[in-house]
Structures are given as C-alpha cells and as structure tokens.
Structure 1
Amino acid sequence: MSSIIIICIFVLLVAFKIWMSSPKNIGKFGEKRVARKLDWLSKEYITLNDILLPTHYGTTQIDHIVVSPYGIFVIETKNYKGWIFGHENSEEWKQSLLGKKRFWGWSSEQHKFRNPIRQNEFEDRYNLLYISYICTEKSEFDGEIFMKSFENIIPRDFQGGVLVLKDGQVVFEYCQGNADHSTNTPFTSHTTITLASLSKQFVAAAIFLQIEQGKLSLDDTIDQYFPQYPQGKNITICHLLHHSSGIPDYISDRIIPDAIQKYESEHGIAPTDVIEFNKCIVSECRPVSLSECFDLIGELPLYFKPGSDGRYSNTNYFLLGYILEIVSNKSFSDVMSDIFMLFGLKYTHMNGRDADACGYVKHDDIIFSCGRPSMDSGDSSVVSSLTDLGLWCKAILNADILSVNSWKECLNFNPNPYGCGLWQFDNGWFGHDGGLPGLRHWQRLNFKDKVAIILLSNVVMEEPPFLAQLMEYLIR
C-alpha cells in the first residue's frame, strides 16, 4: 500500500513538474518570482529600472540596477531569470546582497556583459550609479566624483553647457565645445546665449511685478493697449500669460510657412535637410514691429474663444512685451534690465546681437552658422548664461522676489500644460524648451526634490533623452 502511495506521489510530482515546465506557466510564475524578488530589492536597497545609457557602440538598455553597501549590481532579466553583474571581485558582495535562500533560483554569472554592453563601459555605469547612491541617500556630496561621472554620459558631439542644481546648490556644471567657431571661443558657464522661448518666464515675472505695483491687472483686456486689434476686447492679460487667448502664432502660423513657401518658389522644392531648413528661416528670424505683427495675424481668426482652451502662441508674449513698455513708460529692454537686476543676474541682457554664442546646424560633415539670432521681442529675446539661469531657477524653486500670489499664478497650469512662461511635464516636473535657428535649450525644475536641470546648446539637435531624462531619474 505504501509503495502505491509513493508511486502516486511520484507520478503527481512528475506531472506537476511537466505542468510547471510549460512555456505558459514558466512565464506566469517566472514573472511573479522575478517581480517578488525585485520588489524586495527595491525595499532594501536603491534600485533603478529600465535605464538607457549611451555607449561607444550605441545605446544600451539595462533592466535593473541595485546600489547596495556591498556594491553596485546590474541585473538583466531574460527568460524569467536574473543575471547579476558586478565588480571584478564582487562574488562575496553578491552572496551578501542576494542570500541563497531569499534568491533561490537566480543565477549569478560573473563577467558576462551581454551585447551591446562591453566590459570597458562598465566603469562608466559604476560611476553613474554612485551618483544615484549619493543623491538618493542625501549623504555627503563628493563633487569631483559627481562631475566626473556625469561627464561620461555627455556625447562627444554635444556643444553647449549643462547645469544641475539640488537644494539650491550647483551639483554639476559642464561645458563642451565652442561658443563661436570662427574665433575658437570655448563655451563656458558665463557664455551668454539667446534663450529663445525660455525668455517668456522672465517676461511673465516682469508682468507680475507691474501687477504687484498696481499698474496692471490680470483681468485687463488688451484692447486698451492695442485698439487696432478688434479681437482684443475679449482677451485679457491672463489669457496672454497662459496661452489661452486663441491668438494665432505670428511665427509658426505665418513667418515660417511664408519662408518655406518663398524657398519652394525659388528652388522648386521644399527644404530637404536640417541645414536647408534653417537657411530657409534664419533670415526671417529678425525683429518684427508691432504693426508688422498685426499685419501678419490681424486677418486670421482666433483658434477658440479666449479662455476656453489653450494653444501655444509666441504672439501672446510678443504683445506682453509691448504692454510692459506702455505701462512702465520705459523701453522693453530697460524694463527687463530692472528684472535682471532684481534677481541678481549679472550676465543677462536683451541684445541677441551681443551674445557670446553663435548658433550652428550640423548635417553629415557640414556645419552651417546661423549667426546670432535676435528677435528683440517678448517671446524670445532674453540673453543669459548657465550661471545666471542657475540663480534664476533657484529663485523660482524658492519663490523669491515676487509675491506668493504671483508665483501661485505663474505655476497655475491651467489650461494644461501652460503656466506663465512655464510648461507642466510629467512626475512633478515643469520648465520650458527654447529654440531658434542654431539654438536648442531645455529647462526642467521639480519642487518636490528641489532640483533644476538646464541644458543650453548652440547646435540644433533633438532633445537628448539619455541626458535630460537620465539626469532627472538619477537625481530624483
């Protein structure tokens, strides 16, 4: 009888083993097992997931990374198992970290850097993870290690500057390439460069200062400043600030399409690459008068009833610049200079023609100079530096200078995602992007973590996700 029971148990175990070995169940239970182990890791240690890192051979995605007192480990999960990579002599650390009972079933394979991860690139990842360890634990900051580590992820062809603030302190500052190729002038933290649309937040601050002084109201309609624009009787200062006016964009709705149409008429074809496109529009990026602006957009209908929706329009801040002149009895440049002095920005001014940095476009092996773009208007004319932008971002995060109510309205992202000269992004981040021919900029701030990230580039490029997103992730 006992032998029959033993045979039955053996048969059941074999059947269970076969059932568990099916691809469906391997996936079902394997995913749960991996998830449980990673969940435990995340509670015990610092963990990072789905990290994209640049390498000399392209971009590498790392599934999971664990930072522990025993060392830093790269965990790749393939076929519902985990491979743990560590430092050369880290086997003891691995065993201490994993524990045989707690991590039964996981394999620990040393020195198997799966493609396209290469062993000579592991040290770069090691340095990057050490940064995360420092920032997450808020332990004593080692600036040299931090800077050296982040330098490893900035591509060699990046041209411009990067600044990272945490808790009001500069934790990373890095510049690379030339501000002006013709003179071989290097790009530094004090290099001045036209900020393009990052200018709007400064204009918003100037408007709120006028409101605090009783010279303006958010509810003022703009027909009293621009009687030549019939639509103005239904549009308020608040609508302009929040891009909820419905006014067409004099640049994207008129200047750029008109420039492309002109190019097509002269060449018989639309611009075929990034250099030709920038050549097409660079001559049109010039100062536009108020009368010319209304000539461009005056006949175009509003996109929607003011206040009912949101649509980004440079015209909103173009008009706010003229309103500042009217209510202050000063030139726009002088009004903005007062703001710069108030916030202690020594390198910031309004003359793009005097900026240190030229703008460039690269395509294949060709470099085209866009000169020093200058618009002289409220939507894109502020010239500043990394150093001054750091002070500016610190003031925003600390809600300095302006009143509480002013900052509250500035950061009122309604309609979404438009605040006043700022946009709302995911996960508590806000800021703005900027672009003119030859220039690309990105700004990200986070109140919760008291972090500011600034990228200024004088070469046209796509948003560098491996840089901005990785920096956000690591510092946070």
Structure 2
Amino acid sequence: MKKLISLPFSALLVLLFSLNACKKDDKSTTAATETVQDTFPHIRPNTNKQKKLAPDYIAENRRKIELFYQKYWDKNEVSGGLLVAKNGQIIFERYSGYSNFDTKKEIDVNTPIHLASVTKRITAAAIMVLVHAEKLELDQKVKTILPTFPYPNITVRTLLNHRSGLTNYTYFFDDRKVWNHQKQVTNQDILDVFVKFEAPLDFKTDKHFAYCNTNYAMLALIIEKITGLNYRDAMKKIIFEPLKMDQTFVIDYEKEYRNESQSYKGKYRFHELNLLETVYGDKNIYSTPRDLLKFHQAVASKDYLSPKLNSEVFKGYSYERKGTRNYGLGIRMMEWNDGKQLFYHNGWWHGNTSSYVDLRDENVVIIALSNKYTTMTYKSIYLATLFGDYPLKLKKDELGF
C-alpha cells in the first residue's frame, strides 16, 4: 500500500486505467483494483514552498484584508465566502449570507457554491493529468477522439486556450429552430446539433483568442471518452477524491439542485433556470474555498505535471493584440513588461460569481465565491497587491489599507 501511495499522481492514474482494463478479463485482479481505486493518491504539496508564516505576518495581513472585507463585502451584503492563504496556511477566511434564503440556511465553511467558469480551471487540470498520463496529446486532433466532431483542425490545445474558433453554444441554442426550448441541453446534444446544422466556425482555428464555453463542453466529452466514465465520476476519480475535496462535486440538476446552494439576484430574488443547466465542463462544479485551497496546493505541486507540461499551462497563447491580458491552458493571466505574471479565473452563471487568483511567485491563493449576484468577488484580485508588486489599476489606498 505504501509503495502505491508514493508513486507520482500520473503514474497511479496510468495504473488505475490499466487495472480497470485487466479487470474485464481476469477476476483475480479484482481485489487489487479495488485497493488502488480506494486509495487513489492525494497529490502532496511541494513542501519546499510551505515555509511557516510568522504570527506577526499573518496578523498584519489579516488586518488589511479585514478592511477590504468591510468595505466591499459587508457594505454590499455579499452572500458567500472569501479565503486568502499563503504557503497553504489560511490568513483570512470569512462566510456570510444564505445558501437557501427561504429556509434561512446560512453559508459556512462546508457550503458548496456553484463555481461557474472557475469550473474551467478544474476541467483543464483533469485534461492535463490525462495528457501527463499519456492518454491523449495536447496537439491531438479532437476528431481522433470524438469521431463525429466536424472540425478537422481543432486540437485539444486549441480547446484549452480558446483558439478553436468554435461558436458559442449558449447563443447557437437560442434559435428555436435548432432546439426545442422545453428540453434540457446536454454536452452530446451540442456536438450532435453542431453536426446536424453544420454550425460554422466563428473564425479559422488558431487565428486568435475568443473565450467560448463550447470549448470546455467538448473537453468534458473528451474526458468521458478517454476515461470511459461520465464527467461527474471522472472528475471525482481524477481530481476530487485524490485531493480529498470532500465538499466538491459536479451537480446533477435533476436530483440535487434544490438541496444545494441556490442562485440569487439582488435582495435574494431567486434566479430562474434555463435549458442549459445540464451542460458541464464549462460550469456546474460546486465547491468551497477550502476545497479550492486543496486544489491550488495540488496544481502548485511538483507531482502534478512534468516541468514541460506545467510550462505549457502557464504561458500565454494569444499575442495578436498588445496588452497585459492573455490566456494559458484553462487559466487567465496578466503579464507585464518586467516579466511579472498574475494568474486567475473568474466565473459568472446566473447569480453565482467566483474568482480564483493564483499568485505563483508568492505561493498565494485568493478565493471568492458568491451565490447572490455581485461583482465584489472580482475585486478580490486587488488583494494581490498585499503580497507582490502587481501594477493593478486599483490603488492600495482605495482598498483601505
């Protein structure tokens, strides 16, 4: 057992798939397979980065973040959670509001909230684990994985970095001639409808960047095809269980939605749902700030990917226009002329807004989640100025520091 747990994450993933394949032909492997599945490993943080923080350092930064929280979260009655951690140690953590306003169920440390497009960061991480395990390649044509996929030049990489040229399904399915709006849309429906109606690309593949939810809906189908599991179970096996993200899951709207954190407009007015609730990969992961801290510790670990693959994730792919903003593989980024980089991803779905900020140079993560519509979650990125020399537009004195 100890030897299995000490293996690199990717090696164990390969072993898991291999044992699953053997299981079909050799009943004698069943016990071993179950053992591996039950102990699918936790990715250990890079201990070299986990220097213990001084109490004075924690107290001073907590005081400053408290001022930010009072100015932006308290005054705007944000419903959600804010967590800031360095070296894996929580500096600030606060929860407020209701996951269900009708029952007055309060949001606390164990309340999962819809991550909206921060889901893309986790979908991309799962894809990269599969690439590292040599189950697919970054520059592999999608058509070789999904045979009916009608766009021959689109690769896994151009889905990840939003350079595929695919049109956005959220708009394509607005046409009632394309889809009966009384029916929910699935990921497979998107692919089938694009084939049926010969949906054109918005631009030639890899010509430029255009953020598009369809890319990540297709990546979810790729995860399903490669693993032989539905996206919900695949994410559980590849990411959630290994990282002990016990409060994190892909929502099953038909069975679970009413029992989970609800989505609200201002003043806790319930946000209506629509036909796109059952599309996943681009959204539909629920999690907590503490679980996302575990995720951050994992993707900052030397065991997550090879150095080469890790560099592919955290580099910009779109330089057609000058500017500080760019996109890697499942992560937004800002980069400045002096070489300083900041990585993040925001999300918005119905009343849910989210922000995940990864300060790689300082080993800091800033996580903000809300289930009642607000833009205050996005302002959490300016807390980066506490930890590094980030030339963000909002000045420190505007934060109240």
Q: Do the two structures share a fold, i.e. TM-score over 0.5?
A: yes
Whole-Å separation in 2 of the counterparts to 1:284 and 1:206: 32
Instruction: Indicate which of 196, 218, 221 corresponds to 1:322.
Output: 221
Does residue 1:142 correspond to 2:59, yes or no?
yes
**Map 1:102-251 → 2, pairs under 5 A:** 139-142=56-59, 145=63, 148-153=66-71, 154-156=73-75, 157-231=77-151, 233-251=152-170
**Map 1:49-128 → 2, pairs under 5 A:** none
Q: Deviations over 1:219-276 (max 9, x none)?
A: 2111123333332x2111111111111111111x324x549xx9xxxxxxxxxxxxxx
- From the CA coordinates, give the structure whose radius of gyration is larger: 1
> What corresponds to 2:188 in structure 1?
290
Residues 285 and 374, structure 1, Cα contact 8 Å, conserved in 2: no
TM-score of the aligned structures, taking structure 1 as reference length: 0.60
Whole-Å separation in 2 of the counterparts to 1:366 and 1:307: 42
Aligned to 2:58, the other structure's residue is in SS state coil
Structure 1: stretches of 5+ with no match in the other structure: 1-135, 263-282
The amino acid that maps onto 2:250 is: M
Aligned to 1:408, the other structure's residue is in SS state helix
Whole-Å separation in 2 of the counterparts to 1:366 and 1:145: 30
Does residue 1:448 correspond to 2:361, yes or no?
yes
The amino acid that maps onto 1:441 is: S
Whole-Å separation in 1 of the counterparts to 2:199 and 2:306: 37
Does residue 1:345 correspond to 2:245, yes or no?
yes
Farther-moved stretch of structure 1 (172-181 vs 406-415) = 406-415
Structure 1 segments (4+ residues) deviating >6 Å: none
Instruction: State the superposition RMSD in angstroms.
Output: 3.0
**Map 1:385-464 → 2, pairs under 5 A:** 385-415=288-318, 417-426=326-335, 428-463=341-376
Does residue 1:368 correspond to 2:270, yes or no?
yes
**Map 1:27-46 → 2, pairs under 5 A:** none
> What corresponds to 2:203 in structure 1?
304
Residues 194 and 374, structure 1, Cα contact 8 Å, conserved in 2: no
Whole-Å separation in 1 of the counterparts to 2:169 and 2:63: 47
Q: Larger relative CO (CA 8 A, sep 6+): 1 or 2? A: 2
Whole-Å separation in 1 of the counterparts to 2:182 and 2:201: 24
TM-superposed CA distance for 1:324, in Å, is: 1.3
Aligned to 1:442, the other structure's residue is in SS state strand
Aligned to 1:342, the other structure's residue is in SS state coil
Whole-Å separation in 2 of the counterparts to 1:285 and 1:138: 55
Q: Deviations over 1:111-150 (max 9, x none)?
A: xxxxxxxxxxxxxxxxxxxxxxxxx999443287566545
CA 1:400 to 1:382, structure 2 compared with 1: closer, same or farther past 3 Å?
farther
Farther-moved stretch of structure 1 (145-154 vs 198-207) = 145-154
Residues 271 and 350, structure 2, Cα contact 8 Å, conserved in 1: no
Residues 139 and 156, structure 2, Cα contact 8 Å, conserved in 1: yes
The amino acid that maps onto 2:200 is: P
The amino acid that maps onto 2:385 is: Y
TM-superposed CA distance for 1:164, in Å, is: 0.7
